[in-house]
Amino acid sequence: SPQARSKKKSRKHQRFMERRAVLEQKGLLSPHGHLGSQTTESGLEAHAALPKANSTTAPRCDEVPKRVVSLSPSASPDSIARHHSVLLSQGSGSSKRVRTSSLVLRPAKYVAIDCEMVGTGPQGRLSELARCSVVNYEGDVVYDKYVRPELPIVDYRTRWSGITKQHMKNAIPFTAAQVEILKILKDKIVVGHAIHHDFQALKYFHPKDRTRDTSQSPMLKKRAGLPVRANVSLKNLARYLLHKKIQGGCQGHSSVEDAQTAMELYRLVEVQWEKELAHSLPPRPPSPVTDPAADSSQYLDDQYWPTDLMASSL
Protein backbone atom coordinates (compact mmCIF):
# COMPACT_ATOMS: atom_id res chain seq x y z
CA SER A 1 0.00 0.00 0.00
CA PRO A 2 1.11 3.64 -0.43
CA GLN A 3 1.27 4.06 3.35
CA ALA A 4 3.58 1.03 3.76
CA ARG A 5 5.83 2.24 0.94
CA SER A 6 5.98 5.68 2.58
CA LYS A 7 7.04 4.16 5.93
CA LYS A 8 9.67 2.00 4.20
CA LYS A 9 11.04 5.01 2.36
CA SER A 10 11.06 7.00 5.62
CA ARG A 11 13.06 4.29 7.43
CA LYS A 12 15.46 4.09 4.50
CA HIS A 13 15.96 7.85 4.62
CA GLN A 14 16.49 7.71 8.35
CA ARG A 15 19.23 5.11 8.00
CA PHE A 16 20.72 7.23 5.22
CA MET A 17 20.87 10.28 7.50
CA GLU A 18 22.35 8.25 10.36
CA ARG A 19 25.17 6.99 8.15
CA ARG A 20 25.75 10.51 6.89
CA ALA A 21 26.04 11.80 10.47
CA VAL A 22 28.58 9.08 11.33
CA LEU A 23 30.69 9.93 8.28
CA GLU A 24 30.61 13.62 9.14
CA GLN A 25 31.64 12.82 12.70
CA LYS A 26 34.60 10.75 11.49
CA GLY A 27 35.71 13.53 9.14
CA LEU A 28 35.13 11.45 6.03
CA LEU A 29 32.38 13.77 4.84
CA SER A 30 32.24 17.53 5.20
CA PRO A 31 28.96 18.95 6.60
CA HIS A 32 29.31 21.71 3.98
CA GLY A 33 30.11 19.32 1.12
CA HIS A 34 28.30 19.72 -2.18
CA LEU A 35 26.11 16.65 -1.95
CA GLY A 36 23.13 17.87 -3.94
CA SER A 37 19.83 16.14 -4.31
CA GLN A 38 21.28 13.35 -6.47
CA THR A 39 23.50 11.84 -3.76
CA THR A 40 22.68 8.18 -3.13
CA GLU A 41 23.19 5.88 -0.21
CA SER A 42 25.62 3.81 -2.23
CA GLY A 43 27.79 6.85 -2.65
CA LEU A 44 28.00 7.33 1.11
CA GLU A 45 28.74 3.67 1.62
CA ALA A 46 31.60 3.99 -0.85
CA HIS A 47 32.97 6.93 1.17
CA ALA A 48 32.68 4.89 4.36
CA ALA A 49 34.93 2.24 2.82
CA LEU A 50 37.66 4.73 1.88
CA PRO A 51 40.64 4.76 4.28
CA LYS A 52 42.25 8.03 5.31
CA ALA A 53 45.30 8.92 3.28
CA ASN A 54 47.10 9.93 6.50
CA SER A 55 46.28 11.11 10.02
CA THR A 56 45.52 14.66 8.94
CA THR A 57 44.03 14.37 5.46
CA ALA A 58 40.86 12.60 4.38
CA PRO A 59 39.54 12.20 0.83
CA ARG A 60 37.07 14.81 -0.34
CA CYS A 61 33.50 13.70 -0.97
CA ASP A 62 33.72 14.66 -4.64
CA GLU A 63 36.89 12.66 -5.30
CA VAL A 64 36.62 9.24 -6.90
CA PRO A 65 39.62 7.02 -6.11
CA LYS A 66 41.33 5.32 -9.01
CA ARG A 67 41.08 1.57 -8.88
CA VAL A 68 44.29 -0.20 -9.86
CA VAL A 69 44.02 -3.94 -10.28
CA SER A 70 47.30 -5.77 -9.91
CA LEU A 71 48.15 -9.44 -9.82
CA SER A 72 50.22 -11.29 -7.27
CA PRO A 73 53.41 -13.06 -8.45
CA SER A 74 51.58 -16.38 -7.99
CA ALA A 75 48.57 -15.47 -10.12
CA SER A 76 47.52 -18.28 -12.43
CA PRO A 77 48.10 -18.07 -16.21
CA ASP A 78 44.37 -17.75 -16.93
CA SER A 79 44.17 -14.85 -14.45
CA ILE A 80 47.01 -13.11 -16.28
CA ALA A 81 45.41 -13.56 -19.69
CA ARG A 82 42.01 -12.42 -18.48
CA HIS A 83 43.62 -9.42 -16.77
CA HIS A 84 44.92 -8.41 -20.19
CA SER A 85 41.45 -8.95 -21.63
CA VAL A 86 39.90 -6.66 -18.99
CA LEU A 87 42.47 -3.97 -19.71
CA LEU A 88 41.76 -4.26 -23.41
CA SER A 89 38.00 -3.95 -22.90
CA GLN A 90 38.48 -0.93 -20.62
CA GLY A 91 40.75 0.74 -23.13
CA SER A 92 38.72 0.23 -26.28
CA GLY A 93 39.37 3.17 -28.55
CA SER A 94 42.49 4.15 -26.62
CA SER A 95 45.50 1.91 -27.13
CA LYS A 96 47.61 4.32 -25.10
CA ARG A 97 45.37 3.76 -22.09
CA VAL A 98 45.66 0.00 -22.48
CA ARG A 99 49.44 0.08 -22.64
CA THR A 100 49.64 2.41 -19.64
CA SER A 101 47.20 0.36 -17.56
CA SER A 102 48.88 -2.96 -18.22
CA LEU A 103 52.14 -1.59 -16.83
CA VAL A 104 50.72 -2.79 -13.52
CA LEU A 105 51.39 -6.29 -14.78
CA ARG A 106 54.56 -5.94 -16.84
CA PRO A 107 57.57 -5.14 -14.66
CA ALA A 108 57.26 -8.13 -12.34
CA LYS A 109 55.78 -10.67 -14.72
CA TYR A 110 57.80 -10.51 -17.94
CA VAL A 111 61.38 -11.53 -18.70
CA ALA A 112 63.21 -12.52 -21.87
CA ILE A 113 65.95 -15.13 -21.99
CA ASP A 114 68.69 -16.23 -24.37
CA CYS A 115 71.37 -18.88 -23.88
CA GLU A 116 74.63 -19.65 -25.65
CA MET A 117 75.74 -23.24 -25.92
CA VAL A 118 79.03 -25.06 -26.48
CA GLY A 119 79.68 -28.59 -27.75
CA THR A 120 80.44 -31.45 -25.37
CA GLY A 121 80.35 -35.23 -25.59
CA PRO A 122 81.40 -37.28 -28.63
CA GLN A 123 82.71 -34.93 -31.37
CA GLY A 124 81.12 -31.98 -29.55
CA ARG A 125 77.63 -32.84 -30.74
CA LEU A 126 76.01 -32.44 -27.34
CA SER A 127 74.92 -28.85 -26.60
CA GLU A 128 75.46 -27.59 -23.07
CA LEU A 129 74.85 -24.20 -21.47
CA ALA A 130 77.83 -21.82 -21.40
CA ARG A 131 76.17 -18.43 -20.95
CA CYS A 132 72.71 -17.28 -19.95
CA SER A 133 71.25 -13.78 -20.10
CA VAL A 134 67.88 -12.63 -18.75
CA VAL A 135 66.41 -9.15 -19.26
CA ASN A 136 63.25 -7.54 -17.91
CA TYR A 137 60.38 -5.94 -19.81
CA GLU A 138 62.35 -2.74 -20.33
CA GLY A 139 65.39 -4.65 -21.62
CA ASP A 140 67.50 -4.12 -18.51
CA VAL A 141 69.82 -7.02 -17.66
CA VAL A 142 68.78 -8.93 -14.55
CA TYR A 143 71.10 -11.92 -15.09
CA ASP A 144 74.15 -12.53 -17.28
CA LYS A 145 76.71 -15.17 -16.34
CA TYR A 146 79.08 -17.61 -17.97
CA VAL A 147 78.34 -21.21 -17.04
CA ARG A 148 80.74 -24.14 -16.84
CA PRO A 149 79.17 -27.23 -18.47
CA GLU A 150 78.98 -30.54 -16.64
CA LEU A 151 81.04 -32.32 -19.35
CA PRO A 152 84.41 -31.20 -20.80
CA ILE A 153 84.05 -28.74 -23.68
CA VAL A 154 85.01 -30.20 -27.05
CA ASP A 155 83.84 -27.36 -29.31
CA TYR A 156 83.49 -23.78 -28.08
CA ARG A 157 81.48 -22.83 -31.21
CA THR A 158 82.96 -19.35 -30.81
CA ARG A 159 81.76 -18.15 -34.22
CA TRP A 160 78.17 -18.47 -33.03
CA SER A 161 78.34 -18.63 -29.23
CA GLY A 162 81.05 -16.03 -28.65
CA ILE A 163 82.41 -18.32 -25.93
CA THR A 164 86.15 -18.82 -25.52
CA LYS A 165 88.34 -20.76 -23.11
CA GLN A 166 89.04 -17.51 -21.27
CA HIS A 167 85.36 -17.11 -20.37
CA MET A 168 85.34 -20.43 -18.54
CA LYS A 169 87.93 -19.31 -15.96
CA ASN A 170 85.34 -17.41 -13.92
CA ALA A 171 82.30 -19.40 -14.99
CA ILE A 172 80.00 -20.85 -12.33
CA PRO A 173 79.01 -24.54 -12.26
CA PHE A 174 75.89 -25.50 -14.19
CA THR A 175 73.99 -26.69 -11.10
CA ALA A 176 74.54 -23.35 -9.33
CA ALA A 177 73.52 -21.37 -12.42
CA GLN A 178 70.43 -23.51 -12.92
CA VAL A 179 69.20 -22.74 -9.39
CA GLU A 180 69.74 -18.99 -9.87
CA ILE A 181 68.07 -18.86 -13.29
CA LEU A 182 65.04 -20.98 -12.43
CA LYS A 183 64.44 -18.79 -9.39
CA ILE A 184 64.15 -15.80 -11.75
CA LEU A 185 61.88 -17.64 -14.21
CA LYS A 186 59.49 -18.94 -11.56
CA ASP A 187 55.95 -17.57 -12.02
CA LYS A 188 57.13 -15.36 -14.91
CA ILE A 189 55.96 -15.06 -18.49
CA VAL A 190 59.15 -15.89 -20.39
CA VAL A 191 59.89 -14.47 -23.85
CA GLY A 192 62.48 -15.89 -26.21
CA HIS A 193 63.24 -16.95 -29.78
CA ALA A 194 63.16 -20.71 -30.41
CA ILE A 195 63.01 -20.78 -26.65
CA HIS A 196 62.76 -24.56 -26.41
CA HIS A 197 66.51 -24.72 -27.11
CA ASP A 198 67.17 -22.47 -24.10
CA PHE A 199 64.94 -24.55 -21.82
CA GLN A 200 66.60 -27.72 -23.08
CA ALA A 201 70.03 -26.32 -22.20
CA LEU A 202 68.70 -25.44 -18.73
CA LYS A 203 67.20 -28.94 -18.39
CA TYR A 204 63.94 -27.28 -17.60
CA PHE A 205 60.34 -27.20 -18.82
CA HIS A 206 58.43 -23.91 -18.52
CA PRO A 207 54.59 -23.93 -18.67
CA LYS A 208 53.47 -23.40 -22.26
CA ASP A 209 50.83 -20.82 -21.32
CA ARG A 210 53.56 -18.74 -19.68
CA THR A 211 55.88 -18.95 -22.68
CA ARG A 212 56.02 -16.45 -25.56
CA ASP A 213 58.15 -17.80 -28.43
CA THR A 214 58.76 -15.10 -31.05
CA SER A 215 59.85 -17.72 -33.59
CA GLN A 216 56.33 -19.20 -33.49
CA SER A 217 54.32 -15.97 -33.64
CA PRO A 218 52.15 -15.69 -36.79
CA MET A 219 51.59 -12.00 -35.98
CA LEU A 220 55.31 -11.20 -36.21
CA LYS A 221 55.72 -13.17 -39.44
CA LYS A 222 52.72 -11.50 -41.08
CA ARG A 223 53.94 -8.09 -39.97
CA ALA A 224 57.31 -8.85 -41.55
CA GLY A 225 55.62 -9.99 -44.77
CA LEU A 226 56.88 -13.55 -44.36
CA PRO A 227 55.04 -16.89 -44.72
CA VAL A 228 53.36 -17.93 -41.49
CA ARG A 229 54.86 -21.42 -41.65
CA ALA A 230 58.37 -20.23 -42.43
CA ASN A 231 61.21 -20.70 -39.95
CA VAL A 232 62.34 -17.13 -39.37
CA SER A 233 65.55 -16.27 -37.57
CA LEU A 234 65.76 -13.65 -34.84
CA LYS A 235 68.24 -11.79 -37.04
CA ASN A 236 65.76 -11.46 -39.90
CA LEU A 237 62.83 -10.47 -37.69
CA ALA A 238 65.01 -7.77 -36.13
CA ARG A 239 65.99 -6.53 -39.57
CA TYR A 240 62.46 -6.48 -40.99
CA LEU A 241 60.53 -5.22 -37.95
CA LEU A 242 63.00 -3.35 -35.74
CA HIS A 243 65.31 -2.13 -38.51
CA LYS A 244 68.41 -3.10 -36.61
CA LYS A 245 71.32 -5.46 -37.26
CA ILE A 246 72.23 -8.14 -34.75
CA GLN A 247 74.51 -11.21 -34.75
CA GLY A 248 76.99 -9.58 -37.10
CA GLY A 249 80.70 -10.41 -37.49
CA CYS A 250 82.62 -13.51 -36.51
CA GLN A 251 82.90 -12.88 -32.77
CA GLY A 252 79.68 -14.68 -31.99
CA HIS A 253 76.23 -13.74 -30.76
CA SER A 254 75.52 -11.64 -27.70
CA SER A 255 72.93 -13.39 -25.54
CA VAL A 256 72.06 -10.06 -23.91
CA GLU A 257 71.37 -8.45 -27.29
CA ASP A 258 69.33 -11.45 -28.44
CA ALA A 259 67.21 -11.45 -25.28
CA GLN A 260 66.60 -7.70 -25.59
CA THR A 261 65.63 -8.13 -29.25
CA ALA A 262 63.17 -10.92 -28.44
CA MET A 263 61.51 -8.68 -25.84
CA GLU A 264 61.32 -5.79 -28.32
CA LEU A 265 59.61 -8.05 -30.85
CA TYR A 266 57.14 -9.31 -28.27
CA ARG A 267 56.25 -5.78 -27.19
CA LEU A 268 55.62 -4.90 -30.83
CA VAL A 269 52.59 -7.23 -30.93
CA GLU A 270 51.94 -7.66 -27.21
CA VAL A 271 48.39 -6.30 -27.09
CA GLN A 272 47.16 -8.45 -29.97
CA TRP A 273 49.07 -11.51 -28.72
CA GLU A 274 47.63 -11.32 -25.21
CA LYS A 275 44.16 -10.50 -26.53
CA GLU A 276 44.09 -13.65 -28.65
CA LEU A 277 45.37 -15.69 -25.73
CA ALA A 278 42.71 -14.26 -23.42
CA HIS A 279 39.95 -15.03 -25.93
CA SER A 280 41.13 -18.62 -26.23
CA LEU A 281 40.32 -19.21 -22.55
CA PRO A 282 36.80 -20.15 -21.37
CA PRO A 283 34.80 -17.04 -20.35
CA ARG A 284 34.61 -16.93 -16.56
CA PRO A 285 35.54 -14.35 -13.91
CA PRO A 286 39.25 -13.95 -13.04
CA SER A 287 40.56 -16.28 -10.38
CA PRO A 288 40.74 -14.67 -6.92
CA VAL A 289 44.15 -13.29 -6.03
CA THR A 290 45.52 -15.16 -3.06
CA ASP A 291 48.45 -14.49 -0.79
CA PRO A 292 51.16 -17.03 -1.70
CA ALA A 293 52.50 -16.80 1.86
CA ALA A 294 49.18 -17.99 3.30
CA ASP A 295 48.65 -21.73 3.42
CA SER A 296 44.99 -22.45 4.06
CA SER A 297 45.78 -25.94 5.35
CA GLN A 298 47.51 -24.53 8.42
CA TYR A 299 44.28 -22.99 9.66
CA LEU A 300 42.97 -26.46 10.38
CA ASP A 301 45.40 -26.57 13.31
CA ASP A 302 43.97 -25.27 16.60
CA GLN A 303 46.99 -23.08 17.29
CA TYR A 304 45.99 -20.79 14.41
CA TRP A 305 42.48 -20.09 15.69
CA PRO A 306 42.07 -16.77 17.58
CA THR A 307 41.70 -17.28 21.33
CA ASP A 308 38.55 -15.16 21.63
CA LEU A 309 36.88 -17.06 18.79
CA MET A 310 37.62 -20.40 20.42
CA ALA A 311 36.27 -19.17 23.75
CA SER A 312 33.06 -17.90 22.19
CA SER A 313 32.40 -21.22 20.46
CA LEU A 314 32.64 -23.25 23.69
pLDDT, one tens digit per residue, over 236-287 is 999 999 998 888 776 778 899 999 999 999 999 999 999 988 887 655 555 5
Residue 101 lies in a domain: no
Mean pLDDT within 15-38: 63
Inside any domain, residue 292: no
Average pLDDT in the 189-212 region?
A: 95
DSSP string for residues in the chain = -HHHHHHHHHHHHHHHHHHHHHHHHHTSS-TT----TT--HHHHHHHHHPPPSSSS----TT--PPP-----TT--HHHHHHHHHHHHHHTTT-HHHHHHHGGGTHHHHEEEEEEEEEEESGGG-EEEEEEEEEEETTS-EEEEEEEE-SS-EEE--HHHH---GGGGGGPEEHHHHHHHHHHHHTT-EEEESSHHHHHHHTT----GGGEEEGGG-HHHHHHTT--TTS---HHHHIIIII----S-SSS---HHHHHHHHHHHHHHSHHHHHHHHHHTS---PPPPP--TT--GGGGGSGGGS-HHHHHHH-
Arithmetic mean of pLDDT, 174-201: 96
CATH code at position 241: 3.30.420.10
Structure confidence at residue 4 (pLDDT): 60
In a domain, 77, yes or no: no
214 assigned to some structural domain: yes
- How confident is the model over 110-120, as pLDDT tens digits? 999 999 999 99
Assigned domain for 171 exists: yes
Tell me, what's the pLDDT at 200? 96
What range does the domain containing 186 cover?
108-280
pLDDT at 101 over 80: no
Is there a domain that residue 237 lies in? yes
**Total domains in the fold of the chain:** 1
Share of the chain above pLDDT 70, in %: 60
148 part of a folded domain? yes
pLDDT at 159 over 60: yes
Residue 62 lies in a domain: no
